[in-house]
Structure 1
Amino acid sequence: MVSVRIWAFLVAAAMTVAGSGGACAIAVGQESAPVSPDAPRAAEPLSLREAVQNLETHEPRPDLESILRRLDKLEQAAATPFENPDQWTVKFGGHVQLDYINWANADPAITGPDAEPGTKNYFEFRRLRLMAEGKGYGNLDFRLQMTLEPETVGDSDGAATSPDVKDAYLSMNDIPWLGRFRIGNFFVPFSLEQLTNDTFNVFMERSIPSQGVFAGDREVGVAFYNANENQDFTWTYGAFFDSISDTLKERIDDNQGYRLSGRVTWLPYYDEPSNGRYLVHLGAGVLYTDDQNNTVQFRARPQIHEGPRLIDSGILDATSYTTGNVEAAVVWGPVTVQSEAFLSRVNMSIADPATIGGAYTHVSYFLTGENRKYERFGQHGAQFGRNIPNRIFSLADGGWGAWEAKARWSYLNLNDISGGEYNDLAVGMNWYWSDRTRVMFDWIHPVTSSTTTFGSTTSDILAMRFDFNW
């Protein structure tokens, strides 16, 4: 931009000199031809400094003013998201996560066909996504996110051959009495941990009861989000199809199945002067699922993406199930404690109803003094947001980013459907280079009971992730 301004100034200067009838000349050190004593005396040549001073004090022509106005408009446009004549602004982004998993101590009992993909060490692109989001007409917003992980678009053992649809929705905001209306493919409003973006969660993977066991994933449906004026109370409810394929993006069947969900949250304490450095969050939710195939299955991996299902109920004949949960979180400066409990009643087709449950609790502590950011009424309602280091990691400036220590216990009980019990302990450290880049380290210690898939097992897993987004 600076070079453009210089050229514009020089062009206008030349025009100004030409417009003055050539009365201004610049001496450049060349010898002049002999002049007759009787010839009229020419004006003394100006030095370069004097010529520039004359130009600076000369009233600018309309052409120069027009050029500068256009440059200002170009600079403003370059600093803002893309905007088209239909009142839409669009922002493009992406998300990349690189994982390395090491089974430091795999229990020898975890073997056989049920152990696929086994206990081998592995590297993968956990997430490889592109995203576009934007706003329009003052009260609309949209988001489209596609995943490009090799499992879905490359030559693999799976049948998927196209990108998965993650977020694909349109929202209308500020509707009187109703708040925000959303339609498309998005997270079912249920569970604090599930609704918090994976970029903002503390651990590499969500806890075992909420990693698709009790909490819903993204589904196709509609939902309403609302809050009181101070956003101390939020309430959300929605209706969804049950398990439309992310890859096929369709289900052709007379029995579609459906899910109904509701969630309420309360913020009994929020420290306004510190912008939420100290707060208390409480919430509860319910999720009803009428299964599309009248079969259900509850199972979980050891808090890594690729690994054997250490606990598995098998396929059960059931018409529906209802899950309730309670959630709580306390942020007290650099310390955060977060916990949820789940209880689900499964309506079996032939046998009596069964009751299963689970819970998790985690604590995190910023060694560098930051605190977890909280969004009163974010993308999915009340949720945690993007963490921001006090100083970004920079060897040139001596900044070391933010360091967060963490520990979590999670639990799943499937005894009522002969699935057994599963306890999982995880501890680790997060290193935030900036608000969009971090390195994560998790040590995971899964312990299963005798009635689980592989019987009583104990293992140790070391996991590391490099995570960045834009």
Structure 2
Amino acid sequence: MFALVLALAAVPGCWQAQDLPAQDSSEWPIRAFYKRGLRFQTEGSEFELRLQGRLHWEYGSISNDPDLQRALGESLEDAVRPRRARMLWRGWLGEAFEFRLEQEFRRGTTFFLNQYLEFHQVPLLEHLRIGHFREPVGLETQISGSVVTFLERALAAELTPGRNTGVMSYGHGPEQNWTWAAGLFADTDAKGFHAGDGEWGASARLSFLPWYRQDGERLLHLGVSGSRRSPGGGQARLRSRPETLLAPRFVDTGSFRARNLDILGVEAATVLGPWSAQAEWLLNRYRAPRAGDPQFQAWYVQASYFLSGQHRPYDRALGEFERLKDLPNTLLDEGSGAWELALRYSELDGDSAALRGGFLQDWTLGLNWYLNPQLRVTANWILADLRGIGRTDIFQLRLGLDF
């Protein structure tokens, strides 16, 4: 599999626009070419259909801690496994309409992660999205899993609502120095299905860019987000792994009855040339009288440095970070690609009121090698400490391809 990924990454046409064999326009009015995905486009770009994919393979090694294994009731084992295998269809009708279908293949099953319709240039609302997609809460959760600095998002991501079915409006200021997003959502399963009574929520996010210089080489990002919702079925539960899917859940409160959930998030990030820093704090406050109205908190702070001199790119229209661009194909051309060194500390407190889910602290050291914009090798070392129980060391390596 690794050989197949490397072979795909080395194909010259994969990293630049390349037309397929020409056809008589009277018989074949659609142009087909490859540019960050296989694209089918009509003359004048009135319609475009794009096929993309994502394949991530991982190896992980976890040290054994007898006390931790006894407390968790599960063994800590090394593993080799696919992390993500996805296919994405995106389409546009002119500049006013867009759709997206993203399918994931996991453990013998398939389901749609994102499935939505989007209308652009809507009066007052700017962009209107309807379907199943990620709610606008937090900074790191808005960034693609192929773009985040580390292999997995920080522990604080467990306090965000994730993907649900709903309707959302979003946009940005005239000078792209602030963004906004707000929507109404129904709690749904991974396939986007909802059945229940009153299990709805409202989420919103504001981001600000008070300082932006040298085309994003220097910037300061600030943001705040929140949500108010009713847990599905009147039941709630907080669970979290130590920033790797190769390990069992270290934090688990068990299920408890809850009427309402309020979420608050604060975020900040900066870029100073090759240096970058990012931090978030999130709070979950439940209205759950039998459990003592618990409140759970999580936060993280991270820093990264590009050894090869690049800077972390930022999307002003969305108020989030995006992938590196304009990198040469290291497998074909001379050069060593882009190298990034990163460090993160994060913690999640699952102990509150009558619930004792555990207090988890993680240190993560990461190294990223970007061979080109679509191919990335990432190594992470994680020290996970479940307070009062035990700790473990985790080494994880991923080869990731986006096409």
TM-score bracket relative to the smaller structure: 0.7 to 0.9
Partner of 1:199: 146
Q: 1:277 pairs with 217, 223, 236, which one? A: 217
- 3-state DSSP of counterpart to 2:140: helix
Q: Which has the higher strand share?
A: 2
CA distance in 2, matches of 1:72, 1:457: 70
Q: Which residue of 1 aligns with 2:12?
A: none
C-alpha distance in structure 2 between counterparts of 1:363 and 1:411, whole Å: 16
1:110 is matched with 68
Is 1:209 aligned to 2:156, yes or no?
yes
Match of 1:419, SS state, is strand
- What are the equivalent positions in structure 2 for 1:147-166 lying under 5 Å apart? 147-149=104-106, 151=107, 154=108, 162-166=109-113
What secondary structure does 1:293 align onto? helix
The answer for the alignment partner of 1:49 in structure 2 is none
Identify which of 238, 254, 268 aligns with 2:210: 268
Identity %: 27
Amino acid at match of 2:154: S
| Counterpart contact for 1:391–1:400, Cα < 8 Å | no
Q: Does 1:119 align with 2:59?
A: no
Segments of 5+ residues of structure 2 without an aligned counterpart are: 1-21
Counterpart of 1:61 in structure 2 is none
**TM-score, with structure 2 as normaliser:** 0.88
1:250 aligned partner: 193
1:303 to 243, 259, 262: 243
Structure showing greater relative contact order (alpha-carbon pairs closer than 8 Å, 6 or more residues apart): 2
| Partner of residue 24, structure 1 | none
CA distance in 1, matches of 2:339, 2:269: 20
Rounded to whole Å, the distance in 1 between the matches of 2:362 and 2:396 is 14
CA distance, structure 2, for counterparts of residue 69 and residue 414 of structure 1: 61
How many residue pairs match? The answer is 375
Match of 1:345 in 2: 285
Alpha-carbon contact 1:241-1:257 (below 8 Å) kept: yes
2:331 matched to 1:384? no
Matched, 1:145 2:102: yes
Deviation for aligned residue 1:351: 4.5
Distance in 2 separating the partners of 1:411 and 1:218: 23
* 1:375 alignment counterpart: 315
1:329 aligned to which of 235, 254, 269: 269
Does the C-alpha gap of structure 1 residues 392 and 366 become closer, same or farther in structure 2, counting only changes over 3 Å?
farther
The residue that corresponds to 1:468 in the other structure is: 401
Aligned to 2:13: none
CA distance in 2, matches of 1:277, 1:318: 45
**Is 1:424 aligned to residue 381 of structure 2?**
no
Runs of 4+ in 1 over 4 A off after TM superposition: 68-76
1:91 aligns with 2:27: no
Q: Which moved more, 1:310-319 or 1:344-353?
A: 344-353
Aligned partners of 1:266 and 1:145: how far apart in 2? 29
CA 1:75–1:296 in 2, change beyond 3 Å: closer, same or farther? closer
**Cα distance in 1 between the residues matched to 2:33 and 2:193:** 40
Shift in Å, 1:137: 3.0
- Work out the CA distance in 1 between the residues paired with 2:270 and 2:234: 39
SS for the counterpart of 1:250 is coil
Structure 1: gaps of 5 or more residues: 1-67, 155-161, 451-455
Alignment RMSD (CA, Å): 2.3
Alignment match of 2:115 (pick from 163, 168, 173): 168
Contact 1:389 1:401 (C-alpha < 8 Å) held by counterparts? no
In structure 1, how many angstroms separate the alpha carbons of the residues matched to 2:193 and 2:123?
33
Is contact 2:30-2:42 (8 Å) kept? no
Q: Distance in 1 between matches of 2:88 and 2:333?
A: 32
Does the CA-based 8 Å contact 1:184-1:222 persist in structure 2? yes
What whole-Å deviation, never above 9, does each CA across 1:350-398 have from its counterpart, x for those lacking one?
3442222110011010000001110012xxx31111113654413x532
Task: Render the CA deviation track for 1:34-75: whole Å, top value 9, x for unaligned.
Answer: xxxxxxxxxxxxxxxxxxxxxxxxxxxxxxxxxx99589989
Structure 2: distance between partners of 1:224 and 1:371:
30
Aligned partner of residue 248 in structure 2, secondary structure = coil
Q: Deviations along 1:316-356, whole A, 9 cap, x unmatched?
A: 12112111010000011111100000122111143442222
SS of residue matched to 1:100: strand
User: Following the alignment from structure 1 to structure 2, what is the Cα–Cα distance between the partners of residues 426 and 200?
Assistant: 17
Does residue 82 (structure 1) correspond to residue 40 (structure 2)? The answer is: yes
* Maintained 8 Å contact 2:101/2:116: yes
Shift, 1:147, TM fit: 0.4
- Tell me, in whole angstroms, the C-alpha distance in 2 between the residues paired with 1:122 and 1:298: 25
Pairing 1:238–2:183 present: yes
Note closer, same or farther for the CA distance 1:423–1:389 as it changes in structure 2 (3 Å cut). Answer: farther
Cα separation, 1, equivalents of 2:276 and 2:25: 48
